[in-house]
Amino acid sequence: MLKRLKGKKAQEEMVGFVLVVILVAVVFLVFLGVMIRQKPAKTLESKDMEHFLSSLLDYTSNCSISADYKKMSDLIGYCYEFRECDSGISVCAVANETMKNMLDVSFPISQDSVAKGYLFTAIYSENASNSKKESILRIEKGNCSSTQEGADIPYSHRNGIINNEIKICY
C-alpha cells in the first residue's frame, strides 16, 4: 500500500509540473504575439509641434532682401527661387543654417537627451494633389526610427504650395 501511495504522489507531481510548463508556454506565446503585432513607429500629430513649427517659420532671420529682414517662411520661398540676401549670401545657406541652429538649441540630440533625432523638410508642389514635388530644405539629425511627434504647415507660394514638416523622434 505504501508503494501505491508513492506512485500516485509521483504521478500528481508530474501532472502539476506539466500544467506549470503548459501555463508558462501559453503566457510566452501570448507575449510573443503581442510583441509581433506592434506596429512600426508612426508620427503622432501634435498641437505643440504645430505651434513650434509656426514659431520657427515666423522667426526673423538675419537675411535682408531689399533692405527688409525676412521671416524663415519667406526665406524658404526665396530659396526655391535661388535668390540671394543683400549681403550676397545664398538665401538657402542662411535658411539652412538658421533652421539647423534653432532646432539644435530647441532639441539637443545626444544619448542622454529625451529627443533622439529630428527631421525638418520643406517641399514645393504646384498644387496639393500634384505628384511632382521638389525638395527645398531637408535638415536631419540623429535617429528617427522610434516614436515620432510632428506637424506640418502648408502655405501658398507663387503658383504652388510649400509644405513645411517637422518630426521629433523620441
Counting runs of H as helices and runs of E as strands, what totals does the chain give? 4, 7
Q: Which residue has the higher pLDDT, 15 or 75?
A: 75
C-alpha cell of 130? Answer: 500634384
Tell me the pLDDT tens digit for each residue of 37-88: 755 556 667 899 999 999 999 999 999 999 999 999 999 999 999 999 999 9
- 66 and 12 in a common domain: no
Average pLDDT along the chain: 87
Tell me, yes or no, whether 134 and 50 share the same domain: yes
- 63 and 16 within one domain: no
Q: Indicate if 31 and 108 belong to the same structural domain.
A: no
pLDDT tens-place string over residues 108-125: 998 888 899 999 999 999
Range of the domain at 16: 1-38
Together in a domain, 47 and 34: no
Rounded to whole angstroms, the Cα distance separating 73 from 142 reads 24
Which element (helix H / strand E) includes 28? Answer: helix 2-37
Residue recorded with cell 505651434: 51
Domain count, the chain: 2
Both 56 and 7 in one domain: the answer is no
CATH number at residue 52: 3.30.1140
% of residues, the chain, pLDDT over 90 = 60
For residues 29 and 101, membership in a common domain is answered with: no
Q: Are residues 32 and 50 in the same domain?
A: no
Q: What is the DSSP letter of 50?
A: H
